[in-house]
Structure 1
Amino acid sequence: MAQDRGLFERLKQAALDDWSAYIDHAFVRGLGDGSLPEASFRHYLAQDYLFLIHFARAYALAVYKSRTLADMRSAGRTMAALLDMEMGLHVRLCARWGVSEADLEKTPEASATMAYTRYVLEEGMRGDLLDLHVALVPCVIGYWEIGKALAARPGALDPANPYHEWIAEYSSPDYRQVAEEAADRLDRLADGTLSEARFADLTRIFRQATRLEIDFWQMGLDLAR
């Protein structure tokens, strides 16, 4: 198997149809041009807040499963970014609608939220550290790719776009660093020695997590059902 690309890029290419449907979903396009209904964004944002709580737990699991201090510190930095940077954005945006952080924590979980977060935690519990990070990476790096692509569109970062702050967050240098560290982490854990069978299994995990991302966007469009 060719080793000239990082593991993330190889996984993305192996699941390119699902990846494209994820990063160019109608929900994403609505963020970019401001046409996404506010009700859809508010529903998504509350569910994503709950989602991030479970993802922080997954990174805590990654700390536990790590065999080196470097891996522990890497997972810990990402967990801190989730708890402080990303969740802070959600709290700030929801406060404008009179929704407090306490209100967010009391929001009932949608089926798409439960399906995605429990899948990641299950893969992490039954697999090794690489399995867990492959399940996590579509979210971490996908949001960077989405934020970067949307920020390049004319008017996307204009204050007239109600979603400009969300786009600015996920296209920021700070978030880029989070995404780059996630990609580097995969390469370090894989260490360039993946067999065909191991890569196929990681692709299965990656593809399923990406499909659950698609479902999460669709939930935002459909609202709660």
Structure 2
Amino acid sequence: MFNGFYARLRQQAGDDWQHYVNHAFVRQLASGTLPAPAFRRYLIQDYLFLIHFARAYALLVSKFQTLPEMRAATSSLNAIVNELPLHIRYCAEWGLTERQLADEAEAPETLNYTRYVLDIGHSGDTLDLLTALMPCVAGYAEIGIGLLKDPHTRLSGNPYAPWIENYGDPVYLSGVEASLTLFEKLALTRGGESRFAELAEIFTTATRLEAAFWQMGLNAAATPS
């Protein structure tokens, strides 16, 4: 799954990528030791993040000019919009109501990340925008697959097992595969090779913002309520 132009960008991100996919937040999810306040903070902000993520995909649809590309991007947009009610139900299991989610202010990390992606989308082309989106789309799949294959991941009795299993689920992974296929096509047709340095900078910046999002959750557990 993780090959081609995407794999080169991932490799170029180097230590920033490893810091993202192996962040302490992720490792504590795997072991079941993540403090509940850290996960609740993440869930709330992830809900707000998903709204802007949907906006970014709506922007992507509007920037395409061929129907097959529009359909591919619309499929991803619909997946995110349909995920929001599921996210709300999952949050309810953690004592978070939809009103709480909607009333929460966006954290600086959420603002930084989502507005960066949207700015890239408005100022660049479809390849720029999808490059900014891929660390989240494909990164979560890599994390999900990696945790499920890791013998040190504890699923039995782990309150975070449903989260882990969701991002390694075949349905989710098929959506990621479709996004990667679209991305690889764009890299070939929109001069990706000649733009590698600038695209790598976008990809790595989004990767750093992903890691900061994890850290935001951990910081919530260390801050007195």
Query: Do the structures match in fold with TM over 0.5?
Result: yes
Task: Tell whether the 8 Å contact from 2:17 to 2:207 is kept in structure 1 after alignment.
Answer: yes
Mark the CA change 1:119 to 1:193 in structure 2 (over 3 Å): closer, same or farther.
closer
CA contact (8 A) 1:151 1:167 kept: yes
Indicate which of 45, 52, 55 corresponds to 2:53. Answer: 55
Do 2:127 and 2:190's aligned partners in 1 also have CA atoms closer than 8 Å? no
Structure 2 letter corresponding to 1:77: S
CA distances 1:1-55 after superposition (whole Å, capped 9, x unpaired): xxxx511101111112111110000000011110110100000010010000000
**What is the aligned partner in structure 2 of residue 93 from structure 1?**
90
Structure 1, gaps ≥5 residues long: none
The whole-number CA distance in structure 1 between the counterparts of 2:13 and 2:102 is 33
Identity percentage of aligned residues: 50
Instruction: Give 1:19's aligned residue.
Output: 17
What letter matches 2:96 in structure 1? V
Q: CA deviation at 1:194?
A: 3.4
C-alpha root-mean-square deviation of aligned residues, in Å? 1.7
Give the superposition deviation at 1:97.
Answer: 3.2
Q: Which moved more, 1:22-31 or 1:178-187?
A: 178-187
Structure 2 residue aligned with 1:182: 179
The CA deviation at 1:162 is 0.5
Tell me the equivalent position of 1:43.
41
1:111 maps to 108
Question: What is the identity, as a one-letter code, of the residue corresponding to 2:178?
Answer: E
Q: 1:206 aligns with which of 196, 203, 206?
A: 203
Aligned match for 2:134, one of 129, 134, 137: 137
- The match for 1:191 among 184, 188, 191 is 188
Normalised by the length of structure 2, the TM-score is 0.92
Q: Matches of 2:58 and 2:94 in 1, distance apart?
A: 31
Alpha-carbon distance in 2 for matches of 1:89, 1:164: 16
Q: Check the 8 A contact 1:11/1:203 in 2, yes or no.
A: yes
Q: What TM-score comes out, normalization by structure 1 length?
A: 0.92
**What amino acid is the match of 1:42?**
R
Pair 1:116–1:52, CA change in 2 (3 A): same
Moved more, 45-54 or 13-22: 13-22
Bigger drift between 76-85 and 57-66 goes to 76-85
Q: Which residue of 2 aligns with 1:167?
A: 164
SS at match of 2:150: coil
- 1:111-143 deviations in Å (ceiling 9; x for gaps): 000000000000000000000000000000000
Conservation of the 8 A alpha-carbon contact between 1:120 and 1:135: yes
Distance verdict in 2 for CA 1:83–1:156, change over 3 Å: farther
Contact 2:187–2:193 (CA under 8 A) maintained in structure 1: no
